Amino acid sequence: MKRVITLLHGPNLNLLGARQPEIYGQQSLSDIEATVREQALAMGWEVVSLQSNVEGQLVDWVHQAAEESAGIIVNFGAFSHTSVALRDALHSISIPAVEVHISHIHGREDFRRRTLTAQACVACISGLGARGYEAALHHLVAIQ
């Protein structure tokens, strides 16, 4: 079995720590990635982390993850609420995916309460801040 988890970050997540810290917290994307990598390593797993503001690039990386990984953690940001292409990409792969949202999307604006991409995932974690990534990692490892 491949002991690799792919971690995909969507638009504006490269600005974590600086972008609306009252909603998204103080941790940078590299801080979150380092924590997830450290926890994965302790469990004997590797994490590959990628970020893009381009929807098509994220679709390509979902397809690539299916070839190289045992599971995928996604935070597609705003694309979660709008992208049929990313939903279809997740439906087209055979590895499990967990969607993460740093903020509590169900307590925010109406348009954020519905996520198209979560429909293609085995779980959706919302509102735990950066700890949501750790929960997603632990879940994926547990179901392998």
Sign for the CA dihedral angle at 49, 80, 10, 15 comes to: negative
Q: Which of 101, 104, 106, 139 is catalytic?
A: 101
For residues 95-123, one letter each, b for 16 or more C-beta atoms within 10 angstroms of the residue's C-beta and e for the rest, the string is bbbbbbbbbebeeeeeebeebbbbebbeb
DSSP 13: G
Q: In this structure, are residues 74 and 122 in contact, taking their beta carbons and an 8 Å threshold?
A: no
Task: Let me know if 101 is a catalytic residue.
Answer: yes
Extract long-range pairs of 28-31: CB within 8 Å, 24+ residues apart: 31/130
133 is catalytic: no
Among 9, 24, 81, 133, the active-site one is 24
Rounded CA-CA distance 29/59 in Å is 20
**Residues classed as catalytic:** 24, 101
